[in-house]
Structure 1
């Protein structure tokens, strides 16, 4: 799908969704560096918040995947923070990059690769491919299709919900603008709370949860 182009550099078109991602990555990196640059044994308010976030992510991974999967905490934690920030861009009047299917599919493919790589590492290449014919060889085509479809279903769910929420908010603003401009300051607030804050957070949770569960399930075949 074609993305909205923001500007071009040496004939390379930079999509708006890509530029927003660069900005988000930069801001997250700066916050991460600043908030962990001077950690203390007896934490102050800022460090307490950081430690609480890390603890929540650690608990989410161990509860859903087990303690043997602690090595995935950095990936899952990054996915939670990054995807959460992208989905909440609508609160600031910015189109969420995840309403661009290229972005949603990219994230889905990354999780797909992580899931398959983990299964191959755990089981070995022969046992991994043998698992496609279990529990019955006749299910081989269905198992292959199910595995291939996963990144598309994961990305389409994310893209569809964020795209619909953003479209509804645009319609609301256009409608209010044509009727009574001052109403644009108050009426959209509860809608932003639902479509941007609630729905954006929910889609992040679903995406991350499905990624965690599939990492564990696929390795068990």
Structure 2
């Protein structure tokens, strides 16, 4: 993969491609929701139906994995925004990659970077801790790590690290692998044997992009589902 554009400012290091990609996707999600919900009516039109379908879809994920009704109310909007945000993050690099004059990457899928997926995974885990403490209190929540028996304590603590890694690296691995293969098809394979491989690489790229859209959608669903599973476990005492 191409190296990203790095900006150093005030002693801090910024990944320009992640910043631009995340900002662009945030604007896309906002614009999409604003456009779909601009004229809400009792008798919904096509745009409103699309929005309501997505909301019902993400609500279904929440209700299927979180038993606490109070937590469900607070998580509905989070799941909705999280799904749309990750879906667009996953798709961005499939159709839009921008490089500067030196060949450094300015814009790509931010979820092809492990720091982004780890940040979102940590956000979900911190939210789950917050719900757990609100539900049981600080000491009551900490006691849950020793359930159902005290010797489960190290296993339950280790599970926090494995949840973080599996939630973040699964998303990163799938999106990164998809973009690597697109790069190999478009650059290495297309120019390997002249005009013949250039012609052949075009349908291969289209096919893989279509498959990657499917994979990106599945990974957005899996990330949101696992997030709700982890949060649901924190507000349910076994």
- Structure 2 length-normalised TM: 0.83
Partner of 1:176: 190
Alignment of 1:82-97 (within 5 A): 82-94=85-97, 95-97=108-110
Name the CA distance, whole Å, in 2 between partners of 1:9 and 1:138: 48
Higher helix share: 1
Partner of 2:59: 58
Pair 1:5 & 2:5 matched? yes
Name the CA distance, whole Å, in 1 between partners of 2:41 and 2:6: 43
Let me know the Cα RMSD of the aligned residues: 2.1
8 A Cα contact 2:111 2:175, kept in partner: yes
> How far 1:99 sits from its partner (Å)?
0.8
8 A Cα contact 1:84 1:201, kept in partner: yes
User: Given the alignment, which residue of 160, 181, 188 partners 2:205?
Assistant: 188
- Structure 1 length-normalised TM: 0.89
Change (3 A) 1:135 1:60: closer
> How far 1:79 sits from its partner (Å)?
0.7
Uncovered stretches (5+) of structure 2, i.e. residues with no partner: 98-107
Pair 1:146 & 2:162 matched? no
Name the CA distance, whole Å, in 2 between partners of 1:89 and 1:49: 21
Name the CA distance, whole Å, in 2 between partners of 1:177 and 1:24: 32
8 A Cα contact 2:90 2:110, kept in partner: yes
Partner of 1:111: 124
Name the CA distance, whole Å, in 1 between partners of 2:11 and 2:158: 38
8 A Cα contact 1:177 1:184, kept in partner: no
Name the CA distance, whole Å, in 1 between partners of 2:157 and 2:200: 52
Partner of 1:35: 36
Uncovered stretches (5+) of structure 1, i.e. residues with no partner: none
User: Given the alignment, which residue of 63, 71, 76 partners 1:73?
Assistant: 76
